[in-house]
């Protein structure tokens, strides 16, 4: 893992906040843009697999930040799991963890997951990351992972996260940058699927190269003591990242067709060819650049 300092590269919870009910109806949410990858069962299961894959580095990140027992923390856009379980371990029974999620299916799955895991200090609130219903200046740490990559109003998202923090609190961003994502030997089906995915993703305001921008976004927002960690892994045979692009195609398949990027039979043929190529242990897959950036809200 490559680390850069700011100079170098820059509970037991019944109510989440005083007077706020634990849930809100999705219909009452502001009409922000749709989640580019959709709220389907396929995408829900992909996010669960992704959370498992990202867990080791998320643990290292939280260890480095030093989340204190008894802290109040929030995971913005937590999806069906996010890092809720990791935060729960660190804040302990006297702390509280709030997961904010807009997609109803994902929020329901998150509630089921925290119940199954017995995480009594975790609560889920329905709400949009760009205009949360959470109490301002009430959290010691606010985290997001792979939310900023999906929204066009990135400065608004960061400003909202900072508004939830107490002075001196920690804001944490985890994103990716597709700059390193490739397979070798190159394959035309990889190129075709990646092009189609990027077209769908960017059409909804997503930025698959946002990872490199995290330090400058934090600086522009006035965040202090910024730190950054970056890493790139090989995606080995049998690991989830190996066929991550295939999973993304499955999540956006309808959009790929409706936008005229690939006919259904073309998508099927490319998918089958790419699965075969990625199943060959002689194929090298270099994963996305993973970027973690964090800092303190000014006092």
Using pLDDT thresholds of 50, 70 and 90, give the confidence band for residue 222. Answer: very high
Predicted pLDDT of residue 41: 72
Q: At what angle do helices 84-91 and 41-65 cross, to 10 degrees?
A: 30
Residue 63, pLDDT > 90, answer yes
Q: Are strands 96-101 and 122-126 parallel, antiparallel or unpaired?
A: parallel
Mean pLDDT of 71-92: 96
Mean pLDDT of 207-231: 97
Predicted pLDDT of residue 51: 81
The pLDDT mean for the chain works out to 87
pLDDT tens digits, one per residue of 261-275: 999 999 999 999 999
Number of helices (H), then strands (E), in the chain: 8, 10
Nearest CA to 203 out of 47, 33, 78 is that of 33
Predicted pLDDT of residue 25: 32
Residue 32, pLDDT > 90, answer no
What is the chain's percent helix, strand, coil content, to nearest 5?
45, 20, 35
Using pLDDT thresholds of 50, 70 and 90, give the confidence band for residue 75. Answer: very high
Q: Minimum mean pLDDT among 38-52, 120-134, 183-197: which range?
A: 38-52
Tokens of 176: 């990716």
Mean pLDDT of 164-169: 98
Tokens of 140: 């010691």
CA distance 40 to 25: 18
Using pLDDT thresholds of 50, 70 and 90, give the confidence band for residue 49. Answer: confident
Predicted pLDDT of residue 215: 98
Residue 24, pLDDT > 50, answer no
Residue 72, pLDDT > 90, answer yes
Predicted pLDDT of residue 50: 78
Q: Minimum mean pLDDT among 14-23, 170-179, 204-213: which range?
A: 14-23
Predicted pLDDT of residue 36: 54
Predicted pLDDT of residue 89: 97
Predicted pLDDT of residue 38: 54
Residue 15, pLDDT > 50, answer no
Predicted pLDDT of residue 184: 98
Q: Are strands 2-5 and 96-101 parallel, antiparallel or unpaired?
A: unpaired
Using pLDDT thresholds of 50, 70 and 90, give the confidence band for residue 39. Answer: low
Predicted pLDDT of residue 47: 73
Exposed, middle or buried by CB within 10 Å (0-12, 13-18, 19+), for 78? buried
* Residues above pLDDT 90, as percent of the chain: 78
**Do residues 292 and 172 touch, judged by C-beta distance below 8 A?**
yes
Complete domains list, the chain, with CATH? 2-176+209-231+289-296 (3.40.50.150)
CA distance 176 to 298: 26
Nearest CA to 21 out of 75, 98, 78, 74 is that of 98
For 42, residues 6+ apart whose C-beta sits below 8 A from its C-beta are 250, 251
Helix, strand, or coil here: 231? strand
CA distance 250 to 260: 16
For 280, residues 6+ apart whose C-beta sits below 8 A from its C-beta are none
CA 105 to chain centre: 16
């Amino acid at each position: 893992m490559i680390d850069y300092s700011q100079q170098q590269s820059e509970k037991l919870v019944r109510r989440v906040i005083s007077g706020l009910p634990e849930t809100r109806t999705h219909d009452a949410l502001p009409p922000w843009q749709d989640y580019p990858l959709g709220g389907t069962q396929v995408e829900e299961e992909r996010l669960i697999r992704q959370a498992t894959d990202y867990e080791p580095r998320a643990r290292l990140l939280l260890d480095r930040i030093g989340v204190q027992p008894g802290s109040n923390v929030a995971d913005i856009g937590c999806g069906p799991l996010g890092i809720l379980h990791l935060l729960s371990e660190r804040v302990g029974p006297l702390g509280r963890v709030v997961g904010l999620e807009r997609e109803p299916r994902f929020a329901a799955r998150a509630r089921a997951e925290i119940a199954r895991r017995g995480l009594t200090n975790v609560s889920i609130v329905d709400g949009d990351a760009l205009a949360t219903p959470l109490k301002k200046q009430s959290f010691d740490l606010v985290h997001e992972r792979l939310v900023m990559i999906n929204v066009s109003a990135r400065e608004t998202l960061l400003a909202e996260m900072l508004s939830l923090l107490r002075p001196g609190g920690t804001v944490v961003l985890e994103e990716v940058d597709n700059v390193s994502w490739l397979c070798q030997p190159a394959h035309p089906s990889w190129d075709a699927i990646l092009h189609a995915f990027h077209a769908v993703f960017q059409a909804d305001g997503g930025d698959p190269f946002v990872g490199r921008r995290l330090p400058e976004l934090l600086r522009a927002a006035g965040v202090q003591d910024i730190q950054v960690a970056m890493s790139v892994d090989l995606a080995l045979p049998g690991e989830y990242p190996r066929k991550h692009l295939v999973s993304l195609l499955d999540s956006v398949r309808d959009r790929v067709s409706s936008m005229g990027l690939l006919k259904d039979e073309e998508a099927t043929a490319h998918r089958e060819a790419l699965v075969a190529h990625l199943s060959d242990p002689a194929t090298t897959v270099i994963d996305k650049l993973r970027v973690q950036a964090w800092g303190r809200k000014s006092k």
